[in-house]
């Protein structure tokens, strides 16, 4: 529609000019002694228009001629930018393809060409690290730091990540501290710090970070529990021979983080340090939850070996559990041990034999052998000692 409008407008203009020329009888007299020239006004106007057009074209040609060196230089710069951009893209592609030698070469070329030099230096540093060349890695990191300050955070993140991978965890924490002062603590940095804290054995710091990440939904739920368990197990191992320290630590462990492994390690440590009553409460609390993992663990074995505290209350609690799980070999074995400790010989023998009837184990045979020794039943004791050493039996 717009094209049609311009065609109509041009035709109208042509008609107007033709009409104007046909009715214009004017002329122009040019006098320059001894010459005298008389021309029509229409011819003069046409000549002026043509002269203007020719003059304009001459100026354009002159401008293009004089500007040609600048245009050639601009063309070369544009081609160089396009080429350096392609080189930079190749460096990124080679890095993700795992062709680290080519990535390092292309990144170096992009850096020399001035194409995003800070990012090119970071790519070269990562490629050098993958190639196992720490000297070149550090050289490129230093070059990245000397470039655009806007890329400092990216440089620090990459450096911390590579230090973690090199198991230089203390140095990684120093770098992350500098990053925190600049950018604050964002999720990716917290993950790197968590890895570094685990690496140096700072399990209290690791737990703090883990809870922050879990609160922000920054870690998959299936990873949070195992990582927290690992930290608690390490902390419990450090306090394994200090009853007061164990009890104090357990008081600050949230209920959501008291898994079977944590309770098992804590109960084992408390039992070894003489904290039988606290171990009893821990085990009972876990078993009362009815978790099958807890019932298949070593908790019942520890429970049956607890020598201190109120033995009769433990026997009563175990007999309550037995009503719900009458065919649990581990529970029957624990009851047999506790009854034997209280010199309830008949009940002890009954529970131990019931345990063997459900599952024949080395531990069950050994307990019956010891019971036979205490009751001076030599033949019976020897029979169970022999059965305990058979390969088919395993300790529970």
Give the pLDDT means over successive 10-residue stretches in the chain (396 positions): 73 65 65 74 74 86 78 68 80 90 90 84 91 89 80 86 92 90 82 92 92 87 89 90 89 88 92 89 89 86 87 90 91 91 90 90 88 84 83 51
Q: What is the pLDDT at residue 317?
A: 92
Q: Would you say the C-alpha torsion 346, 351, 353, 354 has a positive or negative sign?
A: positive
Output phi, psi for 36, to 5 deg.
-145, 120
pLDDT at 309: 79
pLDDT (0 to 100) of residue 46? 74
Q: What is the pLDDT of residue 32?
A: 74
Candidates 3.40.50, 3.30.70, 1.20.1740, 1.25.40; correct CATH number of 327-396? 1.25.40
Query: pLDDT at position 395, please?
Result: 47
Distance between CA atoms of residues 133 and 124, nearest Å? 11
Q: What is the pTM of this model?
A: 0.71
């Amino acid at each position: 529609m717009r094209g049609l409008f311009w065609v109509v407008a041009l035709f109208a203009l042509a008609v107007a000019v033709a009409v104007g020329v046909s009715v214009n009888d004017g002329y122009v007299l040019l006098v320059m002694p001894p010459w005298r020239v008389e021309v029509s006004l229409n011819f003069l106007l046409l000549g002026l228009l043509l002269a203007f057009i020719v003059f304009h074209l001459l100026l354009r040609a002159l401008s293009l001629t004089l500007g040609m060196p600048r245009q050639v230089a601009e063309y070369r710069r544009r081609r160089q930018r396009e080429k350096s951009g392609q080189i930079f893209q190749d460096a990124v592609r080679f890095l993700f393809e795992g062709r680290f030698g080519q990535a390092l070469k292309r990144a170096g070329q992009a850096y020399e060409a001035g194409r995003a030099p800070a990012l090119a230096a970071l790519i070269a540093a990562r490629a050098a690290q993958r190639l196992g060349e720490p000297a070149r890695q550090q050289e490129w990191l230093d070059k990245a730091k000397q470039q655009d300050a806007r890329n400092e955070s990216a440089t620090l993140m990459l450096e911390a990540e590579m230090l973690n991978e090199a198991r230089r965890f203390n140095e990684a924490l120093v770098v992350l501290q500098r990053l925190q002062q600049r950018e604050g603590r964002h999720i990716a940095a917290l993950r790197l710090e968590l890895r570094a804290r685990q690496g140096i054995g700072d399990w209290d710091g690791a737990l703090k970070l883990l809870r922050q990440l879990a609160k922000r939904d920054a870690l998959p739920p299936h990873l949070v529990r195992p990582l927290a368990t690992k930290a608690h197990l390490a902390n419990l191992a450090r306090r394994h021979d200090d009853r007061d320290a164990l009890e104090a630590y357990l008081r600050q462990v949230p209920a959501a983080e008291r898994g079977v492994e944590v309770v098992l390690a804590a109960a084992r440590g408390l039992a070894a340090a003489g904290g039988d009553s606290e171990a009893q409460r821990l085990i009972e609390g876990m078993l009362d939850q009815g978790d099958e993992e807890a019932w298949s663990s070593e908790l019942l074995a520890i429970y049956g070996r607890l020598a201190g505290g109120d033995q009769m209350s433990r026997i009563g609690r175990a007999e309550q559990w037995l009503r719900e799980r009458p065919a649990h070999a581990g529970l029957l074995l624990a009851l047999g041990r506790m009854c034997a400790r209280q010199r309830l010989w008949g009940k002890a023998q009954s529970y131990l034999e019931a345990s063997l009837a459900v599952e024949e184990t080395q531990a069950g045979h050994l307990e019956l052998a010891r019971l036979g020794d205490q009751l001076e039943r030599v033949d019976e004791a020897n029979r169970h000692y022999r059965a305990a050493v058979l390969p088919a039996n395993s300790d529970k």
